[in-house]
Amino acid sequence: MTAASLARAEPQWGPAQAGALNDRYSGRALDALADTLTDPAFGATALVSSFGADSAVLLHLAAQIRCDTPILFVETGWLFPETLRYAEDLSHHLGLTDVRWLSPLQATLDEKDPKRLRWSYDPDGCCDIRKVEPLDRALTGFDLWISGRKSHQNRARAQLSLFEPQGTRLKLNPLHNWSADQLRAYAAQHKLPPHPLVADGYPSIGCSPCTSRVQPGEDPRAGRWRGWDKSECGIHVPSEPGNDPVF
């Protein structure tokens, strides 16, 4: 089965196509990455990056294939200054030519988070207006997006597959089965600059009010939304068959 036979003239993806692609690319995640970035049968493809602790590996892999890959980066208004500088420096280092900085709508912030305190009493709502909505807007016109999630990051991600449907789009997780050691080895081999906060005790980096240092032995994402029953921002919430995309 070819990718072309899986796609329509205007690709619209679902669980059946995701399953077939998982069979087709079993054990060949990097081929899947190359094909989704170069084969028009997959439709328009973007890569979503947080420019966080592990982001350099996937961005480097994509840059080797296409330096003009659209990179979607959500600047929530609460990112660490170190992350903003890292996004600029790493984009330049890798020669990425189409990094799109996304922002929440000012009118929405004025209405729903005028005091910039929503993160402290309603982190789900804060993520909705600062992360989910801006990304949803930016994904308009894309058929497939690439994510850097790894199954070792936390229990919620343990069952990650290479391809997964999300609404009418397809999501590719090319690093889903990479271990932390593999990521470190790849970054060292290619001399990729690390996020400056990793050495300061942050193995997972999001917004400053919702990210804390992680102690030895803790889950790498234990410092995200510490004290809340929350482990994802909503961007990666899976959709149920027949439902609209959940962003």
Q: Residues with catalytic annotation?
A: 233
Work out whether 119 is an interface residue with ligand SF4 (CB under 6 A): yes
Tell me if 120 sits within 8 A of 146, measured CB to CB: no
Minimum CB distance to ligand SF4, residue 190 (Å):
29
Work out whether 136 is an interface residue with ligand SF4 (CB under 6 A): no
The three-state secondary structure class of 115 is coil
Alpha helices in 122-176 (DSSP H): 123-127, 133-138
Q: How many residues bind ligand SF4 (CB under 6 A)?
A: 13
User: Cα(241)–Cα(15) distance, rounded to whole angstroms?
Assistant: 8
Minimum CB distance to ligand SF4, residue 109 (Å):
11
Query: Given candidates 43, 52, 70, 123, which one binds ligand SF4 under the rule CB under 6 A?
Result: 123
Place of tokens 């009493």: 121
Work out whether 127 is an interface residue with ligand SF4 (CB under 6 A): yes
Q: How many CA atoms lie within 13 A of 122 on its CB side?
A: 11
Residue (93 or 157) nearer to ligand SF4, CB: 157
Residue (14 or 220) nearer to ligand SF4, CB: 220
Work out whether 149 is an interface residue with ligand SF4 (CB under 6 A): no
CA 144-167-63 angle, 5° bins: 20
User: Cα(81)–Cα(100) distance, rounded to whole angstroms?
Assistant: 17
The residue type at 40: P
Work out whether 235 is an interface residue with ligand SF4 (CB under 6 A): no
Work out whether 76 is an interface residue with ligand SF4 (CB under 6 A): yes
Q: Which of 2, 13, 22 is nearest to 174 (CA)?
A: 22
User: Cα(183)–Cα(4) distance, rounded to whole angstroms?
Assistant: 31
Residue (125 or 194) nearer to ligand SF4, CB: 125
Query: Given candidates 167, 233, 235, 247, which one binds ligand SF4 under the rule CB under 6 A?
Result: 233
Minimum CB distance to ligand SF4, residue 243 (Å):
23
User: Cα(62)–Cα(175) distance, rounded to whole angstroms?
Assistant: 12
For ligand SF4, the nearest residue by Cβ is: 207
Both tokens of residue 34? 């190359």
Minimum CB distance to ligand SF4, residue 104 (Å):
8
Query: Given candidates 25, 42, 73, 78, which one binds ligand SF4 under the rule CB under 6 A?
Result: 78
Region 194-213 residues binding ligand SF4, contact defined as CB under 6 A: 206-207, 209-210
Burial of 106 (0-12, 13-18, 19+ CB in 10 A): exposed
Work out whether 131 is an interface residue with ligand SF4 (CB under 6 A): yes
The residue type at 9: A
Minimum CB distance to ligand SF4, residue 77 (Å):
8
Binding residues for ligand SF4, per CB under 6 A?
A: 76, 78, 119, 123, 126-127, 130-131, 206-207, 209-210, 233
